Amino acid sequence: MGTQRLDFADFYREAKNECLFAVLVSVGDRDTAQDLVDEAFARAWASWRTVSRHPAPAAWVVRTALNTSISRWRRRRREVPVPDLALVADRPAADGGADSSVDPRIMAALLRLPARQRQVVALRLFLDLDTAGTAEVLGIAPGTVQAHLGRAMAALRGDLIPTRQEESQ
């Protein structure tokens, strides 16, 4: 086993779950997210000399997965209507799949966010990127990242707090 493979295997083991969750939050379907992340990690392996020097390789994987998702959607768009993620959020598949113990209400609340807010949440909160790094990955201004994150947090708080208060009663 070569050094390259060892390094990649370490990265994969440490980053795979957070990458999958970040992409799942963005696309809303476990099977789709899994395939996109598989493909993105495969591309990372194929370009490992470059990706391993990236300041945030996990962000590279997530962005590659999301770009792949957009490319696939563009190829299919004449044939398949794009699902409304707010509706997808209420489907059982959106809970992360059969082997998942994710809280379905939290996942549904995340999927009700607008797409850009979901991407910001995925990168800032689930990949632990800072504002500048998130802005760079998404190609938007740092101030825009902060604005999206602020709106997302407000929406999530509004969505989840009543649920949590009901639970405690």
> Reduced to 3 DSSP states, what percent helix, strand and coil does the chain have, rounded to the nearest 5?
75, 0, 25
CA distance 139 to 163: 34
Rounded-to-10 torsion of CA 67, 128, 153, 112: 30
Structure tokens at 147: 């604005």
Interface residues toward another protein, by CB under 8 A: 2-5, 8-9, 12-13, 16-21, 24, 30, 34, 37-39, 41-47, 49-50, 96-97, 99-103, 106-107, 110, 121, 125-126, 153, 156-157, 160-161, 164
Report, in Å, the least distance between residue 81 CB and another protein: 26
Report, in Å, the least distance between residue 138 CB and another protein: 15
Residue holding tokens 């407000």?
Answer: 154
Report, in Å, the least distance between residue 82 CB and another protein: 23
Residues sharing a CB contact under 8 Å with residue 73, sequence separation 6 or more, in sequence order: 82
Q: Which is nearer to another protein, 1 or 81 (CB)?
A: 1
Q: Which is nearer to another protein, 45 or 114 (CB)?
A: 45
Report, in Å, the least distance between residue 48 CB and another protein: 8
Q: Which is nearer to another protein, 36 or 78 (CB)?
A: 36
